[in-house]
Amino acid sequence: MKMANEVNSPAANVTRANEEDSTTNRLVPAANAHFGSQQGNSQRTSGIHRNDWEMLSLDVSMRQVNVSGEGPSQSSLYCQSDAANDFGVKFPPNYNWQATKTSVKERFSFMFNNEILADVHFIVGRGEAQERIPAHKFVLSVGSAVFDAMFNGTLATKGDEIDLPDIEPAAFLSLLRFLYSDEVQIGPETVMTTLYTAKKYVVPALEKACVDFLERNLCSENAFLLLTQARLFDEPQLANLCLDNIDKNTNEAFSADGFPDVDLSTLTAVLERDTLRIKESKLFQAIQRWAEAECLRRHIPVTGENQRAALGSALSLVRFPLMTVEEFASGPAQSGILTDRETVQLFLYFTVNPKPSVGFLDVPRSCMSGKELTVTRFAQVESRWGYSGASDRIRFMTDRRIFIAGFGLYGSIHGPAEYDVSLQLIQNTSNCVLGSNHTTFSCDGTNYTFRVMFKNAIEIQPNVSYTASATIKGPDSHYGTKGQRKVTVDCHGDGKVTFQFQYAAGNNNGTSVEDGQIPEIIFYT
């Protein structure tokens, strides 16, 4: 036909344009895909007229998209060539973007936060921070059962826009990024909101990534804050790690800037623990600081009465009897938080015997979560050990860190009796008294040992020499013989600890490695 001879085929034009200008060769794959690569097939190419190109141009224009997502710009790819211009073909930005993506992950990642093929939009956040985010129902349904029910369930939403006022835009984008690409992008500012979003849409892998991030960045400065969030989001593993951190760094955790911001329930849960390593006087100062902040949050005057009301039952968890009378007199007694009756009862507790009943615990905190253990250094018990005012003393060291809670002491050989005793634990190199307690204990006349405890457990470092000292006033008692220089204690699943005992030179009331008082040391690992 004459017309076929007069009109060149589109494929031939594309080929010629490719030969004349190599910068336009990116159009060739698209043309070949549409018309075939066999240029010699005159039957196929000769039948393609300008009207066909116009139809192609219309088809392309119908598929033009507005791209607002992330990723490299595709506007320079697959642009029209000179040959295409001859027929008025205008290729849109990102036309045939699929050909540049070599894997499913790359194609899905490209569609993240991208209007291409988007069939749903989320209105995320509130106020000025609100964002309109495009998404694809198929991708979301594959990654989350909640989205699957939202789009495909019996009560599936019909709208193209979904409001999410309770979610932060940054957190929602983190969720979408994970669903589209398996990439986790979280930071200190977004991890908690991302964790909330991951839990809401039941994406456990992202939830775990958030928890792992929090665990890696847990410290005494943020332990209370993270504990609050862990309890709120029902993350028991993270909550336990926070509590362990608070146990080991109690002073630092209670001194952190964020501590006064915790909720009362979290504060109460921590105060109930027997494993805090802090003096009760310091603990009272901390909760007083919390109560002041709570009064300000409630917009009420910071008075003793209002602070007590803010603390509620948490106040009863402070172990005032474990304070010294000086600590109590200079702090709690003047705070206005305690009632006059409580103040008087506690002063009597500190100064008279028998001690009156008070409404506060007087059991020392163990400072560790492990079970209480005891090392016994004598193999046999004998009678008549006297006291003349000198201290019974024995030196020791261990091969691992432990926490000394108290001593076991022998009692009277004359039947029931009461002893007055002063305990001390001394670090020998510095001659520093690490802990002390002046108290009494009663015995029943048997040759068993009787517990006498420090107010707070005392941390002992491995391979460091210490002296256990007890100054006892009372009748003659039992004593131990056949002492051992080296004793190993099984710690019930927590390994072992070995004690080595040595003679304490000086006036020691006769106690030695072989015989004497202080038959037991009570400790935790």
Please give the pLDDT value at position 91. Answer: 64
Please give the pLDDT value at position 399. Answer: 95
Beta carbons within 8 Å of 476's beta carbon, 6+ residues apart? 383, 384, 385, 386, 387, 412, 413, 414
Are 182 and 103 within 8 A, CB to CB?
no
Q: For residue range 74-106, what is the model confidence (pLDDT) as tens digits?
A: 334 433 344 344 555 666 667 788 888 889 888
How confident is residue 34, by pLDDT bands cut at 50, 70 and 90? very low
What sections of 48-190 are H helices per DSSP? 50-62, 82-86, 104-111, 137-143, 145-152, 169-181
Mean pLDDT for 341-353 is 91
Counting every residue, how long is the chain?
A: 525
How confident is residue 286, by pLDDT bands cut at 50, 70 and 90? very high
Output the CA–CA distances (angstroms, integers) from residue 106 to 7, 97, 112, 115, 192, in the order listed. Answer: 41, 11, 10, 16, 28
DSSP state, 99?
G
Res 11 pLDDT > 80:
no
Cα maximum dimension of the chain: 136
If you compute the radius of gyration of the chain from its CA atoms, what whole number of angstroms results?
39
Count of other CB atoms within 10 angstroms of residue 154:
5
Res 13 pLDDT > 80:
no
204 or 189: which carries more pLDDT confidence? 204
Mean pLDDT for 354-367 is 81
Q: For residue range 44-84, what is the model confidence (pLDDT) as tens digits?
A: 443 444 454 444 444 444 444 444 444 444 334 433 344 34
Please give the pLDDT value at position 457. Answer: 78
Domain boundaries, the chain: 97-217, 231-351, 372-524
Please give the pLDDT value at position 89. Answer: 60
Give the C-alpha separation, 10 to 114, whole Å. Answer: 33
Task: Measure CA 382 to chain center.
Answer: 53
55 or 117: which carries more pLDDT confidence? 117
* Residue environment code for 291-330, b if the CB has 16+ CB neighbours within 10 A, otherwise e: beebbeeeeeeeeeebbbbbbeebbebbbbbbbbeebbee
Res 501 pLDDT > 50:
yes
Give the C-alpha separation, 213 to 194, whole Å. Answer: 11
Give the range with max mean pLDDT: 367-381, 385-399, 449-463: 385-399
Beta carbons within 8 Å of 364's beta carbon, 6+ residues apart? 319, 322, 405, 406, 453, 454, 455, 456, 457
pTM above 0.85, yes or no: no
Output the CA–CA distances (angstroms, integers) from residue 422 to 111, 419, 513, in the order listed. Answer: 74, 10, 21
Please give the pLDDT value at position 234. Answer: 86
Please give the pLDDT value at position 20. Answer: 44
Question: If DSSP codes are grouped into helix, strand and coil, which group holds residue 184?
Answer: coil
What's the whole-number average pLDDT of the chain? 83
In degrees and rounded to multiples of 5, residue 428 shows phi and psi of -70, -35
| Angle between helical axes of 169-181 and 204-216 (0-180°, round to 10) | 120
Sign of CA dihedral 451, 454, 458, 460: negative
Res 273 pLDDT > 70:
yes
Give the C-alpha separation, 406 to 447, whole Å. Answer: 19
Please give the pLDDT value at position 411. Answer: 95
What residue type is 236 in one-letter code? P
Beta carbons within 8 Å of 6's beta carbon, 6+ residues apart? none
Mean pLDDT for 430-446 is 92
Task: Measure CA 515 to chain center.
Answer: 49
DSSP state, 429?
T
Task: Measure CA 304 to chain center.
Answer: 33
Residue range 372-524, CATH number? 2.60.120.820
Mean pLDDT for 368-381 is 82
Mean pLDDT for 492-517 is 93
The CATH number fitting domain 97-217, selected from 3.30.710.10, 3.10.290.10, 2.60.40.1080, 3.40.30.110: 3.30.710.10
Q: For residue range 289-329, what is the model confidence (pLDDT) as tens digits?
A: 999 999 999 999 999 999 999 999 999 999 999 888 998 99
Res 418 pLDDT > 90:
yes
Q: For residue range 127-176, what is the model confidence (pLDDT) as tens digits?
A: 998 999 999 999 999 999 999 999 998 888 888 899 999 999 999 999 99
Res 434 pLDDT > 70:
yes
E strand spans, 189-344: none
The proportion of the chain whose per-residue pLDDT surpasses 70, expressed as a percent, equals 81
The proportion of the chain whose per-residue pLDDT surpasses 90, expressed as a percent, equals 60
Please give the pLDDT value at position 88. Answer: 59
Q: Which of 261, 363, 349, 251 is nearest to 317 (CA)?
A: 363
Are 247 and 253 within 8 A, CB to CB?
no
Please give the pLDDT value at position 237. Answer: 86
DSSP state, 23?
G
Give the C-alpha separation, 332 to 315, whole Å. Answer: 11
Give the C-alpha separation, 195 to 521, whole Å. Answer: 46
Say whether 372-524 and 97-217 share the same fold.
Answer: no
